[in-house]
Amino acid sequence: MLGAHGPYRYPPLNALRMFESAARHLNFRVASEELCVTQGAVAQQVRALEDALSVKLFDRLPRTLALTEAGQRYLKPVQRALWMIAEATQELKPQKTVITISVTHSFATKWLIPRLGRFSEANPDVEVQVLATNNLANFQSDGVDIAVRQTKPPFGAGLQGDLLFPVQLFAVCSPSLMAAGKPPRTVQDLPQHVLLHDAHGMWPVFLEHAGVRTDMTTLKSVKFSYASLAIDAAVAGQGVALASEPLIEDDLASGRLCSPFDVNLADELGFYLVYPRTPRNSENVKCMRDWLLAQNATPHLSLPV
């Protein structure tokens, strides 16, 4: 029996790793690829282990390996020992801080994800989990630390809210639509074009606000479940969408979208950061909150509830 004291020594850890890998794959070549060493190195280490143990662990067959009875008995304890070493080592390493942010699908794809790399660069020790859902966040049961929603106060008992940016809706379309035969040059031209709706259904309100008198039932329209899909359809030249400027600023800056009218509709809803008054990890929530607010130049209104 191998021991820690006296004439006995533990077998080399490297040899045990190579034995375990070769035993799983029953192939020295595949084991060498997994461990990033040469095939000869694996075979040599396994042979040295057999010599140290005075036991044959493998039968070398023409195209494969086969564990001997002794090799089969040895494999499971070695795997358990290697797993325990790996687990103990992992527990010693500093663990990354995890923060979970709940956002809508459209906010995730059109605003958060293009900027999230900046947060990771500035906070390399914080691991971000993004939960994209339109459902309400339950801070007690679903592990969410902070949420972004298009909503308005009040938010509920025990919650804090910060205005990230107000919602102002603009009519946007692809420049290719403006170059077509009958471009929408004024809001009065909108009934002649396909209106791209999202789940908020704000086109009737926008048209009334712009002074366009029309029967909505006669208009051509396509309906989408998410604002991001309506925006993508507008980029593809399929019609005119209503969108909040923060969600389309990258598309406007790149020229994928344009806003042909100097008309906008201020919505009573805004994009708010919502989080518990007493969060599980106040340092993490403050870090994410401050970063989110810093991404937008609009003055922010803090609204404790």
Judge whether 300 lies within some domain: yes
Q: Is the peptide bond before 154 cis (omega within 30 degrees of 0)?
A: yes
Tell me: do 114 and 130 sit in the same domain. yes
Radius of gyration of the chain (CA): 31
Burial state string for 17-51 with b = 16 or more CB within 10 A and e = fewer than 16: bbbbbbbebebbeebbebbebeeeebbebbeebbe
Q: Tokens for 92?
A: 């010693």
Tell me: do 136 and 215 sit in the same domain. no
Tell me: do 211 and 66 sit in the same domain. no
Amino acid 157: pLDDT: 80
Judge whether 111 lies within some domain: yes
Q: 113 by DSSP, 3-state: which?
A: helix
Query: Which amino acid, one-letter code, is at 8?
Result: Y
Tell me: do 251 and 182 sit in the same domain. yes
Q: Are 185 and 240 in contact (CB under 8 A)?
A: no
Amino acid 143: pLDDT: 84
Tell me: do 231 and 262 sit in the same domain. yes
What is the longest distance spanned by two Cα atoms in the chain?
97
Going by their DSSP bridges, the two strands 146-151 and 221-223 should be labelled as unpaired
Check whether 161 has a pLDDT greater than 60: yes
Judge whether 76 lies within some domain: yes
The pLDDT tens digits for 80-116 are 999 999 888 877 876 678 899 999 999 999 999 999 9
Judge whether 4 lies within some domain: no
Judge whether 1 lies within some domain: no
Tell me: do 173 and 263 sit in the same domain. yes
Judge whether 7 lies within some domain: no
Tell me: do 67 and 197 sit in the same domain. no
Burial label, 249 (beta-carbon count in 10 A; 0-12, 13-18, 19+): middle
Last residue of a domain, one of 57, 92, 127: 92
Last residue of a domain, one of 48, 67, 92: 92
Amino acid 94: pLDDT: 66
Judge whether 188 lies within some domain: yes
Domain range enclosing 62? 13-92
List the CATH number of the domain containing 156: 3.40.190.10
Query: For residues 139 and 147, what is the distance between their CA atoms, to the nearest angstrom?
Result: 9
Q: 152 by DSSP, 3-state: which?
A: coil
**Could you say which DSSP state residue 134 is in?**
S
Query: For residues 212 and 223, what is the distance between their CA atoms, to the nearest angstrom?
Result: 20
List the CATH number of the domain containing 22: 1.10.10.10
Write the CA distances from 19 to 36, 42, 45, 52, 56, integer angstroms.
14, 8, 8, 13, 12
Check whether 196 has a pLDDT greater than 50: yes
Angle formed by the axes of helices 13-25 and 69-92, nearest 10°: 120
The DSSP element (H or E) to which 18 belongs, if any, is helix 13-25
Query: For residues 132 and 291, what is the distance between their CA atoms, to the nearest angstrom?
Result: 19
Banded pLDDT at 301 (limits 50, 70, 90): very low
Judge whether 3 lies within some domain: no
Neighbours of 255 (CB within 10 A): 9
Tell me: do 215 and 250 sit in the same domain. yes
Write the CA distances from 127 to 98, 149, 287, integer angstroms.
5, 21, 12
The pLDDT tens digits for 245-282 are 889 999 999 999 999 988 989 888 899 999 998 888 88
Last residue of a domain, one of 29, 63, 92: 92
Q: Are 197 and 224 in contact (CB under 8 A)?
A: yes
Tell me: do 246 and 229 sit in the same domain. yes
Going by their DSSP bridges, the two strands 126-132 and 221-223 should be labelled as unpaired
Tell me: do 31 and 88 sit in the same domain. yes
Angle formed by the axes of helices 13-25 and 28-35, nearest 10°: 130
Amino acid 3: pLDDT: 45
Amino acid 147: pLDDT: 93
The pLDDT tens digits for 197-250 are 999 899 999 999 999 988 888 889 999 999 999 999 999 999 999 999 889 999
The pLDDT tens digits for 28-61 are 999 999 999 999 999 999 999 999 999 999 999 9
Check whether 141 has a pLDDT greater than 90: no
Tell me: do 135 and 153 sit in the same domain. yes
Q: Determine the average pLDDT of the residues in 2-13.
A: 62
Domains identified in the chain, total number: 3
Q: Tokens for 56?
A: 């044959």
Tell me: do 159 and 273 sit in the same domain. yes
